[in-house]
Amino acid sequence: MSTTITVRDETVTGQTISEYPLDLLNERVTVRELIQSRVYQEVQDYNRVQGGTFRGLVQPTDAEQTLNGYRVARPREIDWKAQFDKACEAFERNGFFVLVDDRQPDALDEELVLTEKSTVAFVKLVPLVGG
């Protein structure tokens, strides 16, 4: 049974940066499958227009970080599988964490049960300067 959840990007202080719906094929998913669905959708959204700012979970190759996302050097299609691999690596090295209904899963293969009322927050962590 498909489920539509609310996904938010947040700062470490809890401020919402963006919020959007995400369709999932099943209500039972792993963290890995949740990340895959998110990355696939954001890359498809960008590839439809191939321009402007890519507002994704992780920085694409040959892109520079801007205030509101990433600017791709030359308009091109982004490979969602490469982005997904980068996102999984970033999760495992604590580049971001996920909050699901205020609970933090800590493994990519942890299973989640999501409902239409579920809220999922992705919180990117930034390294400290000089640390």
pLDDT tens sequence across 28-64: 999 999 999 999 999 999 999 877 788 899 988 888 8
Query: Count of alpha carbons within 13 Å of 13, Cβ hemisphere only?
Result: 2
Please state whether 4 falls in left (phi above 0), alpha (psi between -120 and 50) or beta: beta
Extract the tokens encoding 107.
């493994």
Q: At what angle do helices 80-92 and 31-49 cross, to 10 degrees?
A: 140
Q: Say if pTM beats, i.e. exceeds, 0.85.
A: yes
pLDDT tens sequence across 79-131: 999 999 999 999 999 999 999 998 999 999 999 999 999 999 999 987 555 54
Delimit the domains of the chain by residue range: 3-124
Decide if domain 3-124 falls under CATH 3.40.1350.
no
Model confidence at 70: pLDDT above 50? yes
Rg of the chain in Å (alpha carbons): 14
